[in-house]
Structure 1
Amino acid sequence: MIAAAHIDTLMNQGWPAADSTELDGWVVRRTAGVTLRANSVLPTGAPFDLGKALEYVENLYAAHDIAPSFQVGPAAQPGDLDDRLAARGYEVRNPTLVMGAEVADVLANLGEPTESVNISAVPDDSWMDFWWSVDGRGGSAAQAAARQILNRGRALYGVIPSGQPVKAIGRLALVDDWAGLYCLAVDPAHRRQGLAQAIIHGLLQAATTTRWVWLSVLEANTAARTLYDRLGFQAVSRYHYRVKA
């Protein structure tokens, strides 16, 4: 369906860091320590001098009070990077599957939603506050940094209902003819009512120029993976993070 290197590029655009430094084939991302993706190296090419590149990354992240981290998938360069990082004391975090599907197939498998979804091009305060209450890590400064990430790329934001109290939300990043599903969250008091499926349906239906959709899901999250399998998603890549202990 798609090459691993291409999906890495799409995901990088779908969740863009506030600051990125190009380092001889690597993209060194920084966003005040908020989310691993936005504060890790995307190793898209092999540096000429790997040792010096690693030292540069570690010193840069240390200067910003961020744990040195790498997103390691099938396209990571150099090919033995995972082993080299392990030998340097980096630990594995968050083994994750990347899944993809045709939008038309997912919509057909979803059927009619149980709730109407309000769609907007920006996350309002109620959307942001709900996401942070369910999935946020940190205080107001971290929340502000997270909002920077969201606002740096084109996306659609879904919410149920359109006013308070919010029951469910989601974000669909728009990149070329692909879209990435992020920030899917449901109030624990309203789970198992089809709200997540309704959010997905509303977002995909509103993305009228999008043919394909991707999402990432922790390998250990069997409940979510079962849902995505049923909706027609298939594994297209995988990755984990290596974080210096």
Structure 2
Amino acid sequence: MIAAARIDSLMNQGWPAAHSTELDGWLVRRNAGVTLRANSVLPKSAPFDLGKALDYVENLYAAHDIAPSFQVGPAAQPGDLDARLAARGYEVRNPTLVMGAELTDVLANLGEPASPVNISSAPDDAWMDFWWAVDGRGGSGAQAAARQILNRARALYAVIPSGEPVKAIGRLALVNDWAGLYCLAVDPQHRRQGLAQAVIHGLLHEASTLGVNHVWLQVVESNTPARALYERLGFRTVSRYHYRVKA
């Protein structure tokens, strides 16, 4: 459906770091340590001198008090990078599947939403506070850095209802004719009511008016219930990755 390197590029654009340094084929991302995705190396092509490149990454991240980390998937270069990182003391974190689908197929499988969904082009305070309460790590400074990540990319934001108290949210990053689903969260007291599917429906319906044809998402490999839901909606695994983080 899509090459692994292409999906890596889409994911990078959908969740952009504050600083991205090109290092002989690697993209070294930094964002004040907020979110592993925005503070890891995307190894797009093999550097000429792997040892020197690794030393540079480790020194740069150490200078910014960030644990050296790599996003390692099928397109990572060099091909033996995962083994080289393991030998250097890097540990595996968050094995993740990347799933993709045609937007029209997902909408057809969703059916009518269980609740009205409010869609906007930026996250308001209620959206941010709800997401951070569910998935955030750190205090107000980290939340502000995370908000800057969201605002760097064109995206749609869904919330149920359009006011407080919030029951469910989601984000859809828009990259050309692709869109990436992020930050899907439902209040534990309101789960099993179809709200997650309503959020997805609202986001994809709006995206369908903006020239989007394909959708991707990331799901932790061990999250069997979420994977089952996405498969019912028409998503199929198109790539995978894990992080290698220096202990």
Deviation at 1:168, TM superposition (A): 0.2
SS of match in other structure, 1:163: coil
What's 1:25 paired with?
25
SS of match in other structure, 2:131: helix
Deviation at 1:232, TM superposition (A): 0.3
Deviation at 1:231, TM superposition (A): 0.2
SS of match in other structure, 2:174: strand
Q: How far apart, CA to CA, are the structure 1 residues paired with 2:19 and 2:130?
A: 26
Alignment map for 1:229-244 (pairs within 5 Å): 229-244=231-246
What's 1:165 paired with?
165
What's 1:137 paired with?
137
Q: How far apart, CA to CA, are the structure 2 residues paired with 1:118 and 1:148?
A: 21
Q: How far apart, CA to CA, are the structure 2 residues paired with 1:19 and 1:125?
A: 25
SS of match in other structure, 1:45: coil
- The answer to whether 1:217 aligns with 2:219 is yes
Q: How far apart, CA to CA, are the structure 1 residues paired with 2:216 and 2:178?
A: 7
Q: How far apart, CA to CA, are the structure 1 residues paired with 2:47 and 2:116?
A: 49
Identity %: 84
Deviation at 1:175, TM superposition (A): 0.1
Q: How far apart, CA to CA, are the structure 1 residues paired with 2:124 and 2:241?
A: 31
Alignment map for 1:128-207 (pairs within 5 Å): 128-207=128-207
Q: How far apart, CA to CA, are the structure 1 residues paired with 2:246 and 2:75?
A: 21
Q: How far apart, CA to CA, are the structure 2 residues paired with 1:20 and 1:156?
A: 24
Deviation at 1:198, TM superposition (A): 0.2
5+ residue gaps, structure 2: none
The residue type equivalent to 2:100 in the other structure is G
5+ residue gaps, structure 1: none
SS of match in other structure, 2:225: helix
Q: How far apart, CA to CA, are the structure 2 residues paired with 1:58 and 1:228?
A: 37
What's 1:120 paired with?
120
What's 1:228 paired with?
230
Cα shift readout 1:192-223 (whole Å, capped 9, x = no counterpart): 10000000000000002100000000000000
What's 1:82 paired with?
82
SS of match in other structure, 1:169: strand
What's 1:108 paired with?
108
Q: TM-score, normalised by structure 2?
A: 0.99
Q: How far apart, CA to CA, are the structure 2 residues paired with 1:196 and 1:143?
A: 23
Question: Deviation above 2 Å: which 4+ runs of structure 1?
Answer: none
Cα shift readout 1:139-188 (whole Å, capped 9, x = no counterpart): 00000000010000000000000011000000000001000000000000
Q: TM-score, normalised by structure 1?
A: 1.00
Q: How far apart, CA to CA, are the structure 1 residues paired with 2:229 and 2:133?
A: 23
Alignment map for 1:20-59 (pairs within 5 Å): 20-59=20-59
SS of match in other structure, 1:229: helix
Q: How far apart, CA to CA, are the structure 2 residues paired with 1:76 and 1:213?
A: 22
